Amino acid sequence: MTIQFHDETFRDDYTFHNSPEGIRRFPFPFDADSYMYSVNLEPHAGGKAGSPFEKRFDVDEHYVAEMRDRAITLTEDPLRCQSLPHMELAGWDFLELVMVSKSEDYPELFTLNRDGDRWHWINRPLGIEQRFTFLDATTLPCGPMEYITRQTQGDHALLDQRDGNLWMDAGMVTSQADWSLDFDIGMNFFEWHAPVPKAHEMGVFQRALKFLLNLQQGAPVRRLNWTMTVNPRLDTSPENYHKWGPEKRTVAADNVGAKQYLRVELQTLWRLPRSNAIAFPIRCYLCSLEDIVTVPKWGRRLHRVLRDLPNELAEYKGFAVNRPTIVDYLAAFDDGAPTSPGIFPD
Amino acid sequence: MTSRMLRVSAIEALSPLVSRFRFEDPEGALLPLFSGGAHVVVEMPDAGVLRRNAYSLISDPMDGSGYEIAVRREDGGRGGSKFLHTQVAEGDLMRISAPVNLFSLDLRAKKHVMIAGGIGITPFLAQLKQLARLQMPFELHYAARSRAEAAGLALLPASPQVHVHISEEGNRMDLGAILGSQPLGTHVYTCGPEGLIEAVAETGARFGWPRTALHSEVFMAPPPGAPFEVTLATSGKVVTVGAHQSLLEALEAAQVEVQWMCRGGACGRCETGVKSCHGTIEHHDHWLSDDEHARQTKIMPCVSRFKGETLVLDL
């Protein structure tokens, strides 16, 4: 399998697009016709061939363009990448995890040669070759977490574990669904989840934290989260709300299928060996409504989910203003037929 | 719990009562690295009883060529340590869990002070190696009754940061002196008997240490007690727990699946609901709150026991 990397943009002229294969492998997040929060964690131990769940760190046709977009965001706002001083070891752990996983899972794209602490990394899609000394940050052009996350799709948080809690003490966050690393850095698990409606009362976070504190090395887990984004924009940050917020008002009946995207996060959680920290990659996938409805099951189901979603959730996810337009559009693709269980196309 | 079969590659007596066991992959594969303070659970098939005991790793966390533990023989104990000392030979294969750390260093600390009592030295042996590699300031205090009993001596580096206190030689550990003169930003870690941990907590409070800068790990084996019975709500099955058996072990022996991780009342993984309780749950865990203990609606079967008429578990 050779991946054809797209030359595309996630801002300004928005030339991002999914290939037909890209649409088929989109991680559609709803396994039933309705949605409510749940901890919904499952082992991240492979998945259907070709799906985004198959490899430890999925590399797809958007890889090169996403990394270019990340570099632009970082130039404009360096605080999107922060690591508190005690998190450098976790950064090395994460660098190792990504380099080992990618070189094993995509040997045609990535190569890692190790001779003790002397490492040699080749990233062919991005044209990078680097020799460095593991655990010696002076031998890399930047800190280990920044180095590897400039080459890894998705946002990444590194969570320190202490005092029976998890602390967001490092991260690379440039493709986020309206949250800010600069605001959340140093917060604990309950603090950074404070804005989420309903879930606290349901005890979701207590259960999730307890589960994560016991997360074991070599047994990563995953879950899907979702929201809605107008235009294929990765950087929907609070810092840049003035750039993307007003775009919500550009959605109308005649363009909603093309402009409105379902934004899905494939979140994985990994116990890191030397630091005992947890790595939390949040990988963003975008798919326009007009592409989603090319899969009949998804068109039917997305209509039902968005039509019946509680108002607080539509508000929290930021698309309440366009919900009627979206639901009207999707209604045309819902003939009322039953849908099959699971998230994959029929 | 993920685990793997490892070969016992070396057994070495460190003192009359304590031996070091080294485990390696039978094919020579590298084992997952870990962080100082981590433990593994060792499975011991002992005459029809499957024992599972947690032991701190004492080897270099950055060395995946093998895992090492130090085990003190407790002849009056439940049999796990005696099994290791008498039934295990070099070359044997044993099932060892993946490392789990419930006693990790707080890497924010400006300095790390470690206080060990007796066999409580074990988690610090790995932490020392990690701190040396990270080039972080530390000091270690190791208290033992006698030099002969101080098995850790053979494994400690000769270094000005390592202080040995042998009470038989009149060199008792002075916690006030240790805690009274540390720079701001120091974190203290204590491992050993409950009395030592309490003494460090009290001394720390007296000197105004923040509670979050004091860390501890009690060496917790399931305490023995009078036999008792529990009833399982879903099947109606009655399970009898022997005097030297934990409730978790009795459930496992009865083929009842319960999730577990530390088996020492610390991690919370085996938390089990109580449907009804006519009697008193003897809580021995460090996981449930005092309120939860008093309510008697949850039990940690790895360490807690029961006295009374009936206990019905949500299993």
Three-state SS for chain B is CCEEEEEEEEEEECCCCEEEEEEECCCCCCCCCCCCCEEEEEEEEECCEEEEEEEECCCCCCCCCCEEEEEECCCCCCCHHHHHHHHCCCCCEEEEECCEECCCCCCCCCEEEEEEEHHHHHHHHHHHHHHHHHCCCEEEEEEECCCCCCHHHHHCCCCCCEEEEEHHHCCCCCHHHHHCCCCCCEEEEEEECHHHHHHHHHHHHHCCCCHHHEEEEECCCCCCCCCEEEEECCCCCEEEECCCCCHHHHHHHCCCCCCCCCCCCCCCCCCEEEEEEEEEEECCCCCCCHHHHHHCCEECCCCCEEEEEEEEECC
Q: Categorize the per-residue pLDDT at B18 as very low, low, confident or very high, splitting at 50, 70 and 90.
A: very high
CA distance A54 to A48: 6
Q: Over the stretch A130-153, which tens digit does the pLDDT of each residue have?
A: 999 999 999 999 999 999 999 999
Identify whether A223 is a catalytic site residue: yes
Q: Over the stretch B223-273, which tens digit does the pLDDT of each residue have?
A: 889 999 999 999 999 999 998 889 999 999 999 989 888 888 888 889 999
Q: Is residue B207 part of a domain?
A: yes
What per-residue confidence (pLDDT) applies to B1?
72
Average pLDDT value over all residues in chain B: 93
CA distance B172 to chain A (A): 30
Helix (H) or strand (E) holding A334: none
Average pLDDT value over all residues in chain A: 95
Q: Is the pLDDT of residue B27 over 90?
A: yes
Q: Are B94 and B84 within 8 A, CB to CB?
A: no
What per-residue confidence (pLDDT) applies to B219?
62
Which residues on chain B are in Cβ contact (under 8 Å) with A273? 32-35, 61
Which residue, of B172, B187, B218, is where some domain finishes? Answer: B218
For B177, phi then psi, to 5°, come to -65, -35
CA distance A164 to chain B (A): 9
What per-residue confidence (pLDDT) applies to A1?
57
Going by C-alpha positions, the residue among A41, A268, A78 that lies closest to residue A173 is A78
Helix (H) or strand (E) holding A281: strand A278-288
Q: Is the pLDDT of residue B175 over 80?
A: yes
Say yes or no: B206 and B115 in one domain: yes
Q: Is residue B106 part of a domain?
A: no
- Chain center to CA of A154: 5
**Residue B70: CATH number of its domain:** 2.40.30.10
Say yes or no: B205 and B129 in one domain: yes
What per-residue confidence (pLDDT) applies to B42?
96
The answer to whether B104 contacts A163, with C-beta atoms less than 8 Å apart, is: no
Say yes or no: B214 and B247 in one domain: no
What per-residue confidence (pLDDT) applies to B49?
83
Say yes or no: B234 and B183 in one domain: no
What per-residue confidence (pLDDT) applies to A12?
96
Q: Over the stretch B271-299, which tens digit does the pLDDT of each residue have?
A: 999 999 999 999 998 888 889 999 999 99
The answer to whether B34 contacts A87, with C-beta atoms less than 8 Å apart, is: no
The answer to whether A218 contacts B32, with C-beta atoms less than 8 Å apart, is: yes
Q: Are B274 and B195 within 8 A, CB to CB?
A: no
Tokens of A318: 């930021």
What per-residue confidence (pLDDT) applies to A87?
98
ipTM: 0.86
Q: Are A105 and A3 within 8 A, CB to CB?
A: no
Residue of A84, A85, A274 with shortest CB distance to B33? A274
The residue ranges of chain A whose pLDDT is under 70 are: 1, 39
Amino acid at B4: R
**Residue B271: CATH number of its domain:** 3.10.20.30
Say yes or no: B87 and B127 in one domain: no
**SS3 for A211?**
helix
Q: Is residue B85 part of a domain?
A: yes
The single residue of A114, A223, A307, A323 carrying the catalytic annotation is: A223
Give the residue from chain B lying closest to A216, CA to CA: B100
Which residue, of B57, B81, B101, is where some domain finishes? Answer: B101
CA distance B126 to B62: 9
What per-residue confidence (pLDDT) applies to A45?
93
Which residues on chain B are in Cβ contact (under 8 Å) with A217? 32, 34, 98-99
Say yes or no: B237 and B166 in one domain: no
Which residues on chain A are in Cβ contact (under 8 Å) with B130? 274
**Residue B182: CATH number of its domain:** 3.40.50.80
Tokens of A265: 């996060």
The answer to whether B98 contacts A219, with C-beta atoms less than 8 Å apart, is: yes
What per-residue confidence (pLDDT) applies to B150?
92
Which residue, of B218, B248, B283, is where some domain finishes? Answer: B218
Task: Provide CB contacts within 8 A for A177, sequence distance 6+.
Answer: A225, A227, A229, A236, A263, A265, A284, A317
Q: Are β-strands A42-43 and A155-162 bridged in parallel, bridged antiparallel, or unpaired?
A: unpaired
Give the residue from chain A lying closest to B106, CA to CA: A162
Give the residue from chain A lying closest to B262, CA to CA: A214
- How many structural domains is chain B composed of? 3
For residue B270, what are the domain limits?
A: 228-313
